[in-house]
Amino acid sequence: MTPKQKSIVEKMKAGCALVRSFDVYGGYWYWLRPINEKVRKATAEAMVRDGIVIPGEERRVYSGYRENIHTLAP
């Protein structure tokens, strides 16, 4: 894991959630809730690809905006 990935994992263990958001104006982006820290798309997608985090089911929050909460792999 890269140092940034390790940092994200530690923040997730401390209670943050990695969220992939989508809206019709901005496209996709990743961030940590509740600290509102932006996560680079390449970093988050590498974590999914490497099996570090598991994406949950995408849900529609309101018209034009969707979220997908990622959790740490067991």
Predicted TM-score (pTM) above 0.85: yes
Summarised one tens digit per residue, pLDDT across range 19-62 is 999 999 989 999 999 999 999 999 999 999 999 999 999 999 99
**Domain membership of residue 20 as a residue range:** 3-72
pLDDT on residue 14: 97
pLDDT, position 43? 97
Q: What is the pLDDT of residue 36?
A: 96
Are 35 and 21 in contact by the 8 Å Cβ rule? The answer is no
Predicted confidence at residue 28, as pLDDT, reads 95
Mode of pairing for the β-strands spanning 59-62 and 17-23: unpaired
How many domains does the chain divide into? 1
Of the candidates 55, 59, 43, 58, the residue with the CA atom closest to the CA atom of residue 6: 43
